[in-house]
Amino acid sequence: MVSNGTVSGDDPNWDPDEHVRFARYRRAFDEVAPEDAAALITGVLTDPDKGMANSAVCEYLDRRAAELLTDPGYPSWCLEMTGAVAGDDFSARRLDEWTLLRTMTLSEPWDAEDLVAASDWLQLHASEKSSATAVLEVLAESGRTRRIRNIAKSRLSAAQRSRPAGPAR
């Protein structure tokens, strides 16, 4: 499958069917030890079917980043993954967007323009999951799609209704 760090048609386990390779990559990512993940990512990204390889890698990045999102180990994991995906713009962008999501989740300083420029994937994820008023306000006003804007508006409105009233005067 992945030998000498690359995917090869010379490998006896090579299968020309990308669906079979994708299933093998998914199993490999399910079983990979954290210290071996970067090497596996690098190998998978050599697959000739770039779209399929991106899907397998991003599925792993999504799962692992979600697990580590608020964990103190996220920055070192992210740095290691950044090296592994350096040659792949799609996977690198997904990793960058997870980092932006982490920043917003931890209420660290972030730039609204970065959220507005983010992919539909991140905007949708943030509109559905974020409880930060500032995030929902940006997406309600400037989300890329009508769906993202509507979800953010609805969640913002619900959050405002559920706030306790201030002291009576």
How far the first Cα of the chain sits from its last, in Å, is: 71
- pLDDT, one tens digit per residue, over 100-122 is 999 999 999 999 999 999 999 99
Is pLDDT at 16 greater than 80 in this prediction?
Answer: no
Q: Which stretch of DSSP H or E encloses residue 3?
A: strand 2-3
CA nearest neighbour of 143 among 133, 155, 158, 153: 153
Half-sphere exposure of 58 (CA within 13 A, CB side): 18
Is pLDDT at 167 greater than 70 in this prediction?
Answer: no
pTM score of the predicted model: 0.84
Half-sphere exposure of 104 (CA within 13 A, CB side): 27
Distance (Å, whole) CA 57 – CA 36: 13
pLDDT of 163 reads 72
Find the mean pLDDT for residues 41-52: 94
Distance (Å, whole) CA 156 – CA 139: 10
Distance (Å, whole) CA 132 – CA 38: 32
Distance (Å, whole) CA 64 – CA 85: 14
Is pLDDT at 18 greater than 90 in this prediction?
Answer: no
CA nearest neighbour of 81 among 100, 110, 102, 60: 60
Q: Which stretch of DSSP H or E encloses residue 6?
A: strand 6-7
Both tokens assigned to 133: 């008023």
Output the average pLDDT for the chain.
Answer: 90
Distance (Å, whole) CA 95 – CA 123: 14
Both tokens assigned to 38: 């970067």
Is pLDDT at 54 greater than 80 in this prediction?
Answer: yes
Alpha-carbon dihedral angle through residues 129, 135, 137, 138, given to the nearest 10 degrees: -120
